[in-house]
Structure 1
Amino acid sequence: MPFNGLGLIGAIERALRENGYVEPTPVQQRVIPLVLEGRDVMARAQTGSGKSAGFVLPLLQLWSQRKGEGKAKIKALVLTPTRELTLQVAQAFETFGVFLPKLPKVVSIIGGERIGDQLYAVQQGCDIVVATSGRLIDVLSKKQMNLSHLEFLVLDEADKMLDLGFAEELDLILPQLPEKRQNLLFSATYPPKMQTIASRITQEAVEVAFASEAPTVQSIDQHVIEVDREKRGPLLRHLLENEPWEQVLVFMANKRAADNIAAKFRKYGFSAESFHGDLTQEERSATLDDFKQKRFRILFATDLVGRGLHVDDIDCVVNFDLPRSPADYIHRIGRTGRAGKSGTAISFIDHETQAHFKVIEKRAKIRLPRERVEGFELTGEAPVKTKGPAPVKGKKKSKKDRLREQARKEAEER
């Protein structure tokens, strides 16, 4: 079904054509008509399936048809887990609304920028707010944002927000919203806690799920290469010199590693930059814009870009360091092969990380052959596992403490 069969108005269809969008993804086919009908929606689908456009397009149309006279009032609130996704969604509203009779005023509310400037932008008149929940709460605490006219609430990448402590933040946000509103929840997964969150937001949502789809594997050529830890850098350079990849995203374990390897690759003549939470918001935005515009070839990044970020035509994703969880693996490799396009994903493993990757395979329901590249073969033998001493009660962090510590670290990168 083409976009013109979904009930979208001519101005939005024109914006789609101008930006090269021809056919909607399955998620968009299912969700857009429901949103236009005024239904609450809970949509679950794999990363790269076009969920964001599934709400941006119909919300623009509904806003355009209902907009009132006088100073703009906040009619739509979109919450996302990261600054980058916030800016990306805000840009999508502007891109697809460019031919509407009246342009919507869209304001992004994120950390890393002056809160006074964001408050001023809202007070000047605002139709759509796209925000990270933490900074939104900071703004709401100033008592200078009026959400009483809100008609639409959207949670994008809702499961990731849950990981970052969103359940507690929701207690501060919901009381400031009108009870009568249209609610849209979009996520790649729906863990049990998500059902609890969803029930607090809406009781009447239509569930749209594509659980039968194998997550991301259909359009991504996945490889696992066995290599000694110290040979990963030389192997990556070898691959970059011999493969026709134009845009490559490389995931690193931490900020320092991303900075160090990017500097090293530049010395070898590669155009490369690093991306992580220690950069200022201006630096983060500039780096991503340069990568999207293909001003450099390789982006070494932490998991800050593992969720929700859409960069067209990433040819290859490399797990230089393995992700902590199977879900993170799916979201990382989903940065390539988006919306049905083909892509390549490569993971480096050694003796010590073999077992962890087997867990990833089991949870992601995949099984990949181990490969070796001539001149970079894995050496030595796998270490023999020895049973450690019995744990001492009270000396080891609980699972809950470990999860809280992980959430705090990720929150620092937002």
Structure 2
Amino acid sequence: MTFADLNIKPSILKALIKENYTAPTPIQEQAIPAVLAGRDLFGCAQTGTGKTAAFAVPIIQLLSAQTGKSTKLRQIRSLILTPTRELAIQISDNMKAYSQNTDLRCLAIVGGVSQAGQERSLEQGTDVLIATPGRLMDLVNQKVIDLQYIQILVLDEADRMLDMGFINDVKKIISKMPSNRQTLFFSATLPPEIAQWVKSLLVNPVKVEITPVSSTAERIAQSVYFVDKENKQQLLNHLLQDPSIVSALVFTRTKHGADRVVRSLTKLKVSAQAIHGNKSQNARQASLNNFKSGVTRVLVATDIAARGIDVEQLSHVINMNLPNTPETYVHRIGRTGRAGYSGIAVSFCEQEEMPYLKDIEKLIKKTIPVVKDHPYPMLNATPPLKVQAPSAPSLKKKIKARR
């Protein structure tokens, strides 16, 4: 199947070809016709499945088909809510690329930067607004933004917005827009709160479920190192001596932990930067751009800041700390192995994290191979109460084997 088979109009097809889009992904194939038909949609899809184009392309087609208005009279007709600044900017970039041959305007507004510049941009008018809940709520309360003309609402990464405590802001925002809108709801997981939210917001929705959250891409080689907490940094330093680790996204549990890792790596002359909530938006975007361009070899992130990090050829994801929510593990390692490339996911597991490992393996329905041949083995390790897989080859051997 091609995008032309989905009845995408030529101007948008031309833009997709320019952006090197060939065949639609499964979620695009199923979602685009439903959205074009005006249906509400619930998409359960994890990162890397192509869901941005799944909602962006039909929104552009629907809005651009309407009678155009003068620039001064432009009203916000579609709102895309997303949990993080990085993801909002990424969606905005994609929307602009897909709509480059139309006269639609797209604008992202996020926290962490001057509001004055955003107000000036809003005065110019925009058809599609991509926003984080906090900054949007501020501007709505100040009557800078009017949501009464919204025709299409997108809630992206809804489970993360719930985790980050945005649900009340989102509910208030939704109350400011027409009830007869089209609503597109995307979430990688379906906890009870999200399921209830779907029931209350969507009317007879089309459900598209792609790659259940319990699955991990087959092209991602996973391994785990048992290591004492105090030796995790030394183990990371040791692994990064391998030049075949071209780029690594390292996850830490806390913002201060991310900064500590960067300081340690910098002393070893390893180019590294941190990205987390304490950084300004400009600093976060600069770090992300440096990582994407290869100027920075290691990007150290917390889970919240990592939403929106999309690096096509990221070679490694390294979990300094195992997450206590197994679904988060799947999202983390999904940052590598994207767009048909292979990837490697490495996790460090201290004694207190053994239960987390057990939960992760239960969710993904496989045992993660344990690397025993390393210089910082855990002392008096007590593995999870289950049969462990045979020892995996060392990281360097594994990389050579994959070449």
TM-score (norm. length: structure 2)? 0.89
Give the AA of the match of 1:38.
G
Aligned residues: 383
Give a deviation string over 1:332-359, Cα, whole Å, max 9, x none: 1111112443211100113332233112
More displaced 10-residue stretch of structure 1: 232-241 or 17-26 = 232-241
Helix, strand or coil at the partner of 2:287: helix
Instruction: Report whether the alignment pairs 1:295 with 2:290.
Output: no
Which range is displaced more, 311-320 or 15-24?
A: 15-24
- In structure 1, the partner of 2:392 is none
Alignment partner of 1:140: what SS? helix
User: Retained in 1: the 8 A contact 2:86–2:307?
Assistant: no
> What corresponds to 1:88 in structure 2?
90
In 2, the alpha carbon distance for the partners of 1:160 and 1:243 equals 34
Hey, what does 1:399 align to over in structure 2?
none
Task: Name the residue aligned to 1:44.
Answer: 44
1:47 and 1:216 in contact (8 A); partners too:
no
Partners of 1:239 and 1:298 lie apart in 2 by: 12
Distance 1:303 1:170, change over 3 A: closer
In structure 1, the partner of 2:307 is 307
* Displacement of 1:218: 2.2
- Alignment correspondent of 1:406: none
- Counterpart contact for 1:74–1:146, Cα < 8 Å: yes
Contact 2:326 2:356 in 1 (8 A): no
CA contact 1:247–1:298 (8 Å) conserved in 2? yes
Q: Does the residue aligned with 1:370 lie in a helix, a strand or coil? A: coil
> Quick check: 1:48–1:338 contact (8 Å CA) kept in 2?
yes
Structural mapping, 1:113-192, within 5 Å: 113-192=113-192
1:59 maps to amino acid: I
- Alignment of 1:380 with 2:380, yes or no, is yes
Q: State the shift of 1:308 in Å.
A: 4.3
Shift of 1:370: 1.7
User: Who is 1:386 aligned against?
Assistant: none
> Segments of 4+ in structure 1 off by > 4 A?
211-214
Judged with a 3 Å threshold, the aligned counterparts in structure 2 of structure 1 residues 69 and 351 are, in CA distance, closer, same or farther, namely closer
Distance in 1, matches of 2:219 and 2:106, equals 34
Match of 1:234 in 2: 234
C-alpha distance in structure 2 between counterparts of 1:174 and 1:380, whole Å: 53
- How far 1:216 sits from its partner (Å)? 2.3
Task: Compute the displacement of 1:377 (Å).
Answer: 2.7
Distance 1:80 1:213, change over 3 A: closer
Say which of 93, 96, 99 aligns to 1:97: 99
Q: What is the match of residue 271 of structure 1?
A: 271
**Alpha-carbon deviations, 1:143-162, whole Å to 9, x = none?**
23222222110000011112
Cα distance in 1 for residues equivalent to 2:92 and 2:368: 38
Q: Deviations over 1:35-89 (max 9, x none)?
A: 1121111111222111111111111111211142213211110000111111111
**Contact preservation (8 Å) 1:252, 1:321:** yes
Query: CA deviation digits over 1:158-202, x for unaligned, max 9?
Result: 111122233322332122111222111111112221122123322
Distance in structure 2 (CA, Å) of the matches to 1:150 and 1:223: 46
Check the 8 A contact 2:213/2:327 in 1, yes or no: no
1:47–1:308 contact (8 Å) kept in structure 2 = no
Please tell me whether the aligned partners of residues 323 and 356 of structure 2 are also in contact (alpha carbons under 8 angstroms): no
Aligned to 2:282: 282
Q: Where does structure 2 lack aligned partners over 5 or more consecutive residues? A: 384-403
Q: Match of 2:351?
A: 351
Percent identity between the two aligned chains: 39
Counterpart CA distance in 2 for 1:213 and 1:84 is: 22
- 1:208 is aligned to 208
Looking at structure 2, the residues matched to 229 and 361 of structure 1 have their Cα atoms a distance apart, in angstroms, of: 21
Aligned-partner Cα distance in 2 for 1:306–1:281: 13
RMSD: 2.2
SS for the counterpart of 1:117 is helix
TM-score when normalising by structure 1: 0.87
2:171, 2:45 → 1: CA distance?
Answer: 26
Assess, with a 3 A threshold, how the Cα gap between structure 1 residues 381 and 333 changes in structure 2: closer, same or farther: closer
Check whether the contact 1:307–1:331 (CA below 8 A) recurs between aligned residues: no
Report if aligned partners of 1:46, 1:216 keep a CA contact under 8 Å in 2. no
Maintained 8 Å contact 2:46/2:212: no
Query: Secondary structure of the residue that 1:170 maps to in structure 2?
Result: helix
| Kept after mapping to 2: 8 A contact 1:155/1:184 | yes
CA gap 1:168/1:356 in 2 versus in 1, 3 angstroms: same
Q: Distance in 2 between matches of 1:305 and 1:174?
A: 24
Q: Within 5 A, what are the aligned runs for 1:388-399?
A: none
